[in-house]
Amino acid sequence: MVFQRIFAFVLLLACIGLALMAWPYQAPFSYEPVGPRAFPLLMLALMGISLLYMVFRPTPIKHSEGEPPLDRPTLIKIAACTVLLLIFAGLFEPLGFVLSSMLIGIPMARLYGGRWLPSIVIITLMSIGLYLLFDKVMDVPLPLGVLDALEN
């Protein structure tokens, strides 16, 4: 229980530090009505509130029978997810949203028990659908990367 509180307190300090770094940020242009600093500050505030609760909660978090144990296979899945997300961040600009989402989404689906064919079909449709939703409907530009020639 003490380690949970210490961990939450350290993360709370990190949130405060990141918020102090994000507060003075001003972009030379703004494509959103509230500006580019609102989202990170909002996320940090929500994380900070949750971490405050974790630091001062009255009882420790106890795992129930239905929750998976934090054993070696679970930790390997968490590490694999982290690596896949880092790869996604690196491939996002050069390959574009659609291809990088497909290349990362399919192994992520397989990691959590998805079958090959449904994983490929669903991730492909989701990647294309999310691109169209963000880029065309909500007017949030996402990179196409190597598929840039298909846009016109």
Q: Does 11 score more than 80 pLDDT?
A: yes
pTM value? 0.60
Residue 108: Cβ within 10 Å count? 18
Length reported for the chain:
152
Q: What is the pLDDT of residue 30?
A: 58
- Asked whether the predicted pLDDT for residue 51 surpasses 80, the reply is yes
Cα 105 to chain center, whole Å? 13
pLDDT of residue 33: 60
- Measured between its terminal Cα atoms, the distance across the chain in Å is 57
Which of the pair, 1 or 135, is modelled with greater confidence? Answer: 135
Contact 94, 145 (CB under 8 A): yes
57-95 pLDDT, tens digit each: 877 666 666 666 678 888 888 899 999 999 999 988 889
Closest Cα to residue 21, out of 35, 47, 41? 41
List all residues 6 or more positions away from 38 whose beta carbon is below 8 Å from its beta carbon. Answer: 32
Rounded Cα distance, 134 and 70, in Å: 36
